[in-house]
Amino acid sequence: MREIKIGEKIVRLRATPPALLFYRQEFKADLIGDLISFQKISEDPSAFDSVALLQMIWAMAKADNYNHFPSFVTWVGELDSFDFGDAELLRDVIEEATAGFFRGGNSG
């Protein structure tokens, strides 16, 4: 489990199997496949997908509190701001996903 800050809001992330299910159900895509696509960013910054990042955050946040969590559209609408230039935030999201979904990772 990891906490990140989006604007003034603290969001708890949990990279667990329910996050994979929620991602698939909501976005009809595979979270791990989208996570792997983020590896290309260092070679080609235009490969960055801001919506995929928000989707990953939402799925892992929902996995932390799935009994009382809003839909993706509602959740995004509740965000006051999002700093896509925050390298620490991006690193924290990727590290949580990597640690949770790949056994060789370290959980934070």
Give the pLDDT confidence of 9-55 residue by residue, as tens digits.
Answer: 999 999 999 999 999 999 999 999 999 988 888 788 888 899 999 99
Specify burial of residue 19 (Cβ count, 10 A radius: 0-12, 13-18, 19+): buried
CA-CA distance, 86 to 32, in Å (whole number)? Answer: 22
DSSP code of residue 87: H
Does residue 70 register a pLDDT over 80?
yes
User: Which pLDDT value is given to residue 105?
Assistant: 46
Q: What angle do CA 11, 102, 13 make, to 5 degrees?
A: 5
Task: Provide the pLDDT for residue 41.
Answer: 83
